[in-house]
Amino acid sequence: MTQTTKPQMTQFREIGRQAFHDGGPRAPILNSEVQAAIAGLPVGGAAAAIMREYSRGWSEALDAAIALGEGTEAPAVLAVHAVMGRLDARWA
C-alpha cells in the first residue's frame, strides 16, 4: 500500500476556499500548499488539476461572499465591487 503525505485532489478546493478567507492570493502557484503538492510533477496533468481545484475553491468563496454580502472587508471582494462600479460608503 502506498502512503502519501500530499493532500488528496479534493482537498485543494477547500485549500482555495480557506486561502480566500485568509486573504491569500487567487493564483494557485503562490500558495505554499499548492507549491509543495506540485513540486516534481510534470507540467499539466495532475499539477494542472491541483491548481484548477484551488482556483475553483477560491472563486467559489469569493462568489459566496459577494452573494451573501459577507466578508465585504476582504480585499478580493472590495476589488470586485470597485471594478463593477459598486464600491460605495458601505465598503469605503
Is the pLDDT at 9 greater than 60, yes or no?
Answer: yes
> pLDDT digit string (tens) for 18-33?
998 888 888 999 999 9
Is the pLDDT at 14 greater than 90, yes or no?
Answer: yes
Where are the chain's structural domains?
11-83
Q: What is the DSSP letter of 26?
A: S
Distance CA 42, CA 69 (A): 40
Within 10 angstroms of residue 91's Cβ, the number of other Cβ atoms is 12
Position of cell 503562490? 30
User: How high is the pLDDT of residue 29?
Assistant: 94
- Amino acid at residue number 65: A
> pLDDT digit string (tens) for 45-74?
999 999 999 999 998 988 887 777 665 556
Distance CA 68, CA 29 (A): 28
